[in-house]
Amino acid sequence: MNYKAIVIGASTGGFYALKRLITALPGGFEFPILIVQHISSNSDNFMARYLDGISKLTVKEADEKEAILPGTVYIAPPNYHMLVEENFTIGLSTEEKIRYARPSIDVLFESAVYAYGNQLIGIVLTGANNDGSEGLLAIKKAGGLTIVQTPEQAEADMMPQSAIDLAKPDHILPIEGIAALLTSLNNNQKNSITT
Amino acid sequence: MNNLTDDTNQTINIEIDLILDAIFQKYGYDFRNYSRAHVKRRLLHRLAGSHFKSLSQMQHEVLYDPSFFQEILKDLSINVTEMFRDPKFYLALRTEIIPLLKTYPFIKVWHAGCSTGEEVYSFAIVLKEEGLYDRVQIYATDFNRSVLDIAKKGIYPINRIKEFTANYQQAGGKQSFSDYYMADYNSVIFDQSLKKNIVFAEHNLVTDSVFAEVNIIICRNVLIYFNRELQNKVFTLFSESLINGGFLCLGSKETLQFSQNAGLYDVLNAYEKLYKKRII
């Protein structure tokens, strides 16, 4: 299977989990990564700037209509939903909160399924709600790869547990395991392209 | 490859093209150049909550039942807003644009895509506090008549006031926010004198043209739903409506940068997306 993109959802405790995951990915990592982290609507783009400074990848807050490029991490802006357009650009929306969240993980995941079909990797990390479960199920149904953080390791176990119960993901792993899996998928795919 | 999914998705995309064509031909509302992910999400959401088996079946109802179309119209137009949404934007308006507007004897303001009016009243309050209200004419337009009716009334649910008040304070408000509304059990009604210089009118950014020459256009979180081509068309409409030296204010994630109109403007505030049309 050749994958084209990774979508990640995180909530309570997500900042630390994302920091560990993103900084564990090697330079030359090619899959674009789209992230929804639940965050207060008045926040600025601190998380993107911080992760950009300490990781080997380019990390930025997403702009509307922006083309999704390899090796780049896009973080949904506070108070906007982030969607993937089928021409592989980013769409933003101010429509109502879904399950009390804007940005919503489900909105990102479900739109990414239409754009990437089965060539999508979906990951649900720590959180104290059930956003992301429906979206992960949609990825699973479309034949994509689904991964959930081990609930015992998560700062808040409700969101990963909910995703496990609903979507029956392909992998349940701690952060280090997720980073290792993504790195090996990335390397395999690179090798298969060059040979 | 999962061909079934691809095939189904292709069929859904054909159905969306057809339903948008049907809406345009029958009702004149043109969503064909809206951001597709947004339209798809809203239509599929409506479909999931209905008894229809497909968008094609739903299209039949759209064509034959105007009241059902009104529901679809609500789905496709996003009317989620708040007073002083993005307080820092209003702070920037106050400090960077208001002093320049004060140099004009008379000021025309256009709120394009004003939805239910919260941001129109917000700016009216700023103008009042800055001593400019008596020399402004405010045009507040939207293509959706039902949201304009709400905007005209200026009545909002009381449970939103806490959020509005916090925004007002962060936006540099000079009074107590409660000076501007009267509350009853369920709702608040805004000071009717704020409406004195506001004209609410139907105007469709996609299909209508220039109607006035204005000093400032505020159009926030409307263009994010349009594709690039349609955005360009609307930027041209704005450029034709603004006086030289006039101001264009967009949502914080919207940008003129990629438009063919970008060269007509100077950037006043890159973060809050405040632009000034050049005096050529």
B48 belongs to a structural domain: yes
DSSP H or E run through B113: none
Across residues B95-123, what is the average pLDDT?
A: 97
Cβ neighbours, 10 Å, residue A45: 16
Q: How far apart are CA B206 and CA B31, in angstroms?
A: 8
A195 pLDDT higher than 70: no
Optimal mutation site among B3, B4, B5, B8, interface A, most CBs of chain A within 10 A: B5
Q: Which residues of A touch B (CB under 8 A)?
A: 42, 63-65, 77, 79-80, 83-86, 91-96, 107, 110-111, 114-115, 117-118, 142-143
- Same domain flag for B263 and B200: yes
Optimal mutation site among B6, B163, B253, interface A, most CBs of chain A within 10 A: B253
Is residue A48 within 8 Å of residue A61, measured between CB atoms?
A: yes
A95 pLDDT higher than 80: yes
B267 pLDDT higher than 50: yes
Indicate the average pLDDT of chain A.
95
Q: Which strands make up the sheet holding B198-202, listed edge to edge?
A: B198-202, B136-142, B107-112, B214-219, B242-250, B274-277, B265-269
Optimal mutation site among B8, B16, B39, B41, interface A, most CBs of chain A within 10 A: B41
CA-CA distances (angstroms) from residue B138 to B97, B121, B164?
16, 10, 21
Q: How far apart are CA B179 and CA B165, in angstroms?
A: 11
Q: Which residues pair with A149 in a beta bridge?
A: A173
pLDDT classification of A194: cutoffs 50, 70, 90: low
| CATH number where A86 lies | 3.40.50.180
With CA atoms as reference, the chain A residue closest to B41 would be A111
B96 belongs to a structural domain: yes
Distance from CA of B271 to the nearest CA of A (A): 11
| Contact state of A117 with B225 under an 8 Å Cβ cutoff | no
B2 pLDDT higher than 80: no
| Contact state of A93 with B40 under an 8 Å Cβ cutoff | no
Amino acid at B182: M
pLDDT classification of A184: cutoffs 50, 70, 90: very high
| Contact state of A65 with B228 under an 8 Å Cβ cutoff | yes
A192 pLDDT higher than 90: no
Residues of chain B neighbouring A64 (CB-CB closer than 8 A): 224, 253-255
Question: Which of B54, B76, B98 represents a domain boundary (last residue)?
Answer: B76
Cβ neighbours, 10 Å, residue B53: 9
| Contact state of A86 with B35 under an 8 Å Cβ cutoff | no
- Same domain flag for B103 and B175: yes
- Same domain flag for B55 and B144: no
Indicate the average pLDDT of chain B.
94
- Positions of A marked active-site: 11, 38, 131
Among the listed ranges A31-35, A73-77, B166-170, B258-262, which one has the minimum average pLDDT value?
A: B258-262
Is residue B268 within 8 Å of residue B274, measured between CB atoms?
A: yes
B144-161 residues labelled b (16+ CB within 10 A) or e (exposed): beebbebbeebbbeeeeb
- Same domain flag for B72 and B11: yes
| Contact state of B78 with A93 under an 8 Å Cβ cutoff | yes
Burial environment of residue B43 by CB neighbours within 10 A (0 to 12, 13 to 18, 19 or more): buried
- DSSP-derived pairing of the beta strands A171-173 and A120-124: unpaired
B211 belongs to a structural domain: yes
- Same domain flag for B92 and B52: no
DSSP string covering A56-90: SSEEEE--TT-B--TTEEEEPPTT-EEEE-TTSBE
Q: Which strands make up the sheet holding B155-157, listed edge to edge?
A: B155-157, B187-190, B181-183
**Into how many domains does chain B fold?**
2
- Same domain flag for B143 and B190: yes
Residues of chain A neighbouring B231 (CB-CB closer than 8 A): 65
Phi then psi for residue A98, to 5 deg, are -110, 125
pLDDT of A193: 59
User: B23: domain range?
Assistant: 3-76
| CATH number where B213 lies | 3.40.50.150
Name the DSSP class of B261. T
Q: Which of A94, A95, A143 sits opposite B2 (nearest CB)?
A: A143
Question: Which of B76, B96, B115 represents a domain boundary (last residue)?
Answer: B76
Q: How far apart are CA B37 and CA A112, in angstroms?
A: 9
- Same domain flag for B144 and B253: yes
N residues, chain A = 195
Q: How far is CA A25 from the centre of its chain?
A: 14
Distance from CA of B141 to the nearest CA of A (A): 19
Q: Which of B1, B80, B253 sits opposite A64 (nearest CB)?
A: B253
B4 pLDDT higher than 70: no
- Same domain flag for B172 and B119: yes
Q: Which of B35, B228, B255 sits opposite A63 (nearest CB)?
A: B255
**Into how many domains does chain A fold?**
1
- Same domain flag for B127 and B207: yes
Across residues A52-58, what is the average pLDDT?
A: 96
Contacts for B40 with CB less than 8 Å, ≥ 6 apart:
A111, A114, B12, B13, B16
B229 pLDDT higher than 60: yes
Cβ neighbours, 10 Å, residue B106: 9
B82 belongs to a structural domain: no
- Same domain flag for B242 and B111: yes
Is residue B151 within 8 Å of residue B81, measured between CB atoms?
A: no
pTM, two decimals, is 0.92
Q: What is the pLDDT of residues B5-41, one digit of tens each?
A: 678 899 999 999 999 999 999 999 999 999 999 999 9
CA-CA distances (angstroms) from residue B39 to A108, B34, B123?
14, 7, 30
Q: What is the pLDDT of residues B65-77, one digit of tens each?
A: 999 999 999 999 8
Longest dimension (CA), chain A: 48
B3 pLDDT higher than 50: no
Is residue B220 within 8 Å of residue B253, measured between CB atoms?
A: no
Q: How far apart are CA B225 and CA B238, in angstroms?
A: 17
Is residue A65 within 8 Å of residue A89, measured between CB atoms?
A: yes
User: A27: domain range?
Assistant: 5-194
